[in-house]
Amino acid sequence: MDSKFLSFVWRYSKREQIFILILTVVSFPFVYLSLEIPKIIINEAIDGSDFPKVVLGFEFEQIPYLILLCFAFLAMVVAINGIKWLLNVSVGMTGERMLRRLRYMLFERVMRFRVARFRTTKPGEVIQSMLGEIEPLGGFIGEVVSTPAFQGGLLCVYMVFIFMQHVWLGLAAVALYPLQAFIIPKLQKRVIQLNRERAQNTRFLAETVSESVGNAGEIRTNATARWHMAQLSHRLHTNTLIRMSLFKRKFTIKFINNFMNQLTPFFLYLLGGYLVIRGRLDFGALVAVLAAYKDLAAPWKEVLAWYQRWTDFNSRYTFVIENFIGDDVLDEDYLQPPARARARLEAPLTMTSVDGGPGSGGLGVRHLEVAAGETVAVLGGENGARESFLRLASGLDVAASGSVSLGGTSLADATLPQVGESLAYVGTEPGMVNDTLRVNLLYGLLRRVPDLAGQTGRDAEQLLQEAQRTGNLAADPEGDWIDYEAAGVDGAAALEERLVDVIGRVGLGHSTLARALETRLTPEEAERWTPALMQARSALNDGWPAEEREDLLERWEPERFNSNATLLENVLFGLPVSGGKDIAGYAELDSVRAVLGEVGARPVLEAIGLDIAREFASLVEAVGETSSVLDGFAAYPRARILAAAELTALAVDKTPDAMKSDQRAMLLSLAAVYVDQRDRLDVLGPARIERVLACREKARRMLAEREDFVAFDEERVSPAETVAENIVNAKRRFDRRAAWRKLDERLEQAIRTAGLRGELMSLGLDAPVGAGGSALSSVDRRRTGLARALMKRPSLIVLDGVAAGPGTEDVTLRATVRELLPDAIILLAAADGAVAAEADRVLVIGDDGGVVEEEPRGPERVAGGGRA
Amino acid sequence: MGISKTTDVLREMELFARVDDRQIRAVAMMGEELSFRDGERLFEQGDEGDAAYVVISGAVEVIVRVDDGERSVATLGQGEIFGEIAVLCDRPRTSAIAAKGSLVVFRLDRPVILNMLREFPDVALQMIRILGRRLELTTQRLARAAA
A264 vs B64: which has the higher pLDDT = B64
Residue of B3, B33, B40 with shortest CB distance to A735: B33
> How many interface pairs between A and B have CB atoms less than 8 angstroms apart?
61
- Collect all residues of chain B within an 8 Å Cβ-Cβ radius of residue A619: 25-26, 29
pTM over 0.90? The answer is no
Edge to edge, what strands does the sheet with A796-799 contain? A423-426, A796-799, A825-829, A375-380, A841-845, A851-855, A858-861
Q: What is the pLDDT of residue B92?
A: 86
Q: What is the pLDDT of residue A857?
A: 39
**What is the average pLDDT score of chain B?**
89
What is d(CA A190, CA A287) in angstroms, rounded to the nearest whole number?
40
Contacts of A665 (CB under 8 A, 6+ apart): none
Q: Which of B9, B24, B29 to mutate to test the interface with A (most CBs of A within 10 A)?
A: B29
- Which residues, listed in sequence order, are joined to residue A376 by a DSSP beta bridge? A827, A841
From B69's Cα to the closest Cα of chain A, the distance in A is 25
Contact A865, A367 (CB under 8 A): no
Q: What is the pLDDT of residue A858?
A: 38
What is A769-789 written as a DSSP string? Answer: --GGGTTS-HHHHHHHHHHHH
What is d(CA B37, CA A564) in angstroms, rounded to the nearest whole number?
19
Q: What is the pLDDT of residue A116?
A: 75
Residue of A551, A629, A681 with shortest CB distance to B26: A629
What is d(CA A313, CA A5) in angstroms, rounded to the nearest whole number?
8
Q: In the Cβ-directed half-sphere of A82, how many Cα atoms lie within 13 Å?
A: 8
Asked if B30 lies within 8 A of A632 by C-beta distance, the reply is: yes
Helix (H) or strand (E) holding A862: none
User: Helices H, strands E: what count in chain A?
Assistant: 34, 17
Give pLDDT tens digits for A714-755: 888 888 899 999 999 999 999 999 999 899 999 989 998 988
Q: What is the pLDDT of residue A140?
A: 86
A812 vs A334: which has the higher pLDDT = A812
From B125's Cα to the closest Cα of chain A, the distance in A is 17
Confidence of residue A692 (pLDDT cuts 50, 70, 90): very high
Residue positions counted in chain A? 868
What is d(CA A508, CA A784) in angstroms, rounded to the nearest whole number?
7
**Rounded (10°) CA dihedral A163, A168, A169, A173:** 90
Surface-to-core class of residue B83, CB atoms within 10 Å of its CB (0-12 exposed, 13-18 middle, 19+ buried)? buried
Residue B110 has pLDDT above 80, yes or no: yes
Q: What is the pLDDT of residue B15?
A: 86
Contact A398, A358 (CB under 8 A): no
Asked if B26 lies within 8 A of A623 by C-beta distance, the reply is: yes
Residue of A551, A622, A633 with shortest CB distance to B22: A622
The residue of chain B nearest to residue A625, with distances taken between CA atoms, is B119
Check CB contact of B87 with chain A, cutoff 8 Å.
Answer: no
Contact A237, A243 (CB under 8 A): no
Residue A595 has pLDDT above 90, yes or no: yes
What is the distance, to the nearest Å, from the Cα of residue A459 to the centroid of all Cα atoms in its chain?
A: 21
Residue A135 has pLDDT above 50, yes or no: yes
Helix (H, G, I), strand (E, B) or coil at A861: strand
Residue A445 DSSP code? G
What are the start-end ranges of the H helices in A554-673? 567-572, 583-587, 590-598, 602-623, 638-650, 661-672
**Average of per-residue pLDDT across A361-368:** 88
Q: What is the pLDDT of residue A651?
A: 75
Asked if B119 lies within 8 A of A734 by C-beta distance, the reply is: no
How far is CA A844 from each of CA A382, A403, A797, A847, A849, rounded to the nearest angstrom? 11, 20, 19, 10, 9
Q: What is the pLDDT of residue A785?
A: 95
Q: Of A244, A247, A242, A233, give the one whose Cα is nearest residue A205.
A: A233
Residue A166 has pLDDT above 80, yes or no: no
Helix (H, G, I), strand (E, B) or coil at A263: helix
Surface-to-core class of residue A355, CB atoms within 10 Å of its CB (0-12 exposed, 13-18 middle, 19+ buried)? middle
Confidence of residue A347 (pLDDT cuts 50, 70, 90): confident
Please write down the long-range contacts of A735-744, taking CB distance under 8 Å and 24 or more positions apart. Answer: A735/A677, A735/B33, A735/B34, A735/B35, A735/B104, A736/A551, A736/A552, A736/B34, A736/B35, A737/B32, A737/B34, A738/B34, A738/B36, A738/B40, A738/B42, A739/A551, A739/A552, A739/B40, A740/A552, A742/A552, A743/A552, A743/A553
Contacts of B92 (CB under 8 A, 6+ apart): B45, B46, B47, B48, B49, B86
What is d(CA A155, CA A293) in angstroms, rounded to the nearest whole number?
10
Amino acid (one-letter) located at A281: L
Please write down the long-range contacts of A107-110, taking CB distance under 8 Å and 24 or more positions apart. Answer: A108/A335, A109/A1, A109/A324, A109/A325, A109/A329, A110/A324
Q: What is the pLDDT of residue A459?
A: 76
Q: What is the pLDDT of residue B34?
A: 95
Check CB contact of B1 with chain A, cutoff 8 Å.
Answer: yes
What is d(CA A620, CA A70) in angstroms, rounded to the nearest whole number?
79
Contacts of A167 (CB under 8 A, 6+ apart): none
Q: What is the pLDDT of residue A701?
A: 92
Please write down the long-range contacts of A540-545, taking CB distance under 8 Å and 24 or more positions apart. Answer: A540/A727, A540/A728, A540/A746, A540/A747, A540/A750, A544/A746
Q: What is the pLDDT of residue A454?
A: 65
Contact B113, B84 (CB under 8 A): yes
Asked if B3 lies within 8 A of A681 by C-beta distance, the reply is: yes
**Average of per-residue pLDDT across A663-680:** 93
Residue of A628, A629, A680 with shortest CB distance to B3: A680
Q: Is the ipTM of this complex over 0.95?
A: no
Q: Of A673, A669, A678, give the one whose Cα is nearest residue A644.
A: A669
Helix (H, G, I), strand (E, B) or coil at A717: coil
Q: What is the pLDDT of residue A456?
A: 67
From B139's Cα to the closest Cα of chain A, the distance in A is 37
The residue of chain A nearest to residue B117, with distances taken between CA atoms, is A629
What is d(CA A403, CA A353) in angstroms, rounded to the nearest whole number?
7
**Average of per-residue pLDDT across A196-213:** 84
Residue A867 has pLDDT above 70, yes or no: no
**N- to C-terminal Cα distance for chain B?**
49
Give pLDDT tens digits for A424-443: 999 988 989 999 999 999 99
Helix (H) or strand (E) holding A528: helix A523-541
Contact B82, B98 (CB under 8 A): no
What is d(CA A620, CA A618) in angstroms, rounded to the nearest whole number?
6
Confidence of residue A771 (pLDDT cuts 50, 70, 90): confident
Q: Of A597, A606, A577, give the one whose Cα is nearest residue A674.
A: A606
**Average of per-residue pLDDT across A640-668:** 87
Residue A482 DSSP code? B
User: Helices H, strands E: what count in chain B?
Assistant: 5, 6
Helix (H) or strand (E) holding A404: strand A401-406
Contact A410, A352 (CB under 8 A): no
What is d(CA A375, CA A826) in angstroms, rounded to the nearest whole number?
5
Residue A815 has pLDDT above 60, yes or no: yes
Percent of chain A's residues with pLDDT above 70? 98
Confidence of residue A855 (pLDDT cuts 50, 70, 90): low
Contacts of A414 (CB under 8 A, 6+ apart): A345, A395, A406, A422
Residue of B4, B22, B115 with shortest CB distance to A629: B115
Asked if B35 lies within 8 A of A735 by C-beta distance, the reply is: yes
**N- to C-terminal Cα distance for chain A?**
48
Residue A859 has pLDDT above 60, yes or no: no
Helix (H, G, I), strand (E, B) or coil at A376: strand
Give pLDDT tens digits for A787-801: 999 999 999 999 998
Cβ-based interface (< 8 Å): residues of A facing B: 551, 615, 618-619, 621-623, 627-629, 632-633, 676, 678, 680-682, 734-739
**Average of per-residue pLDDT across A659-688:** 92
From B94's Cα to the closest Cα of chain A, the distance in A is 20
Pairing of strands A796-799, A423-426: parallel
Q: What is the pLDDT of residue A501?
A: 93
Q: Of A8, A321, A9, A3, give the one whose Cα is nearest residue A148.
A: A9
Q: Of A245, A250, A253, A246, give the one whose Cα is nearest residue A184.
A: A253
Residue B6 has pLDDT above 70, yes or no: yes
Q: What is the 3-state secondary structure (H, E, C) of A625-648?
A: CCCHHHHCCCCCCHHHHHHHHHHH
How far is CA A424 from each of CA A72, A440, A793, A853, rounded to the nearest angstrom? 74, 14, 9, 23
Question: Is the sign of the CA dihedral B116, B117, B119, B122 positive or negative?
Answer: positive
Confidence of residue A675 (pLDDT cuts 50, 70, 90): very high
b or e along A537-554 (b: 16 or more beta carbons within 10 Å of the residue's beta carbon)?
bebbbeeeeeeebeebbb
**What is the average pLDDT score of chain A?**
87
Residue A868 has pLDDT above 50, yes or no: no
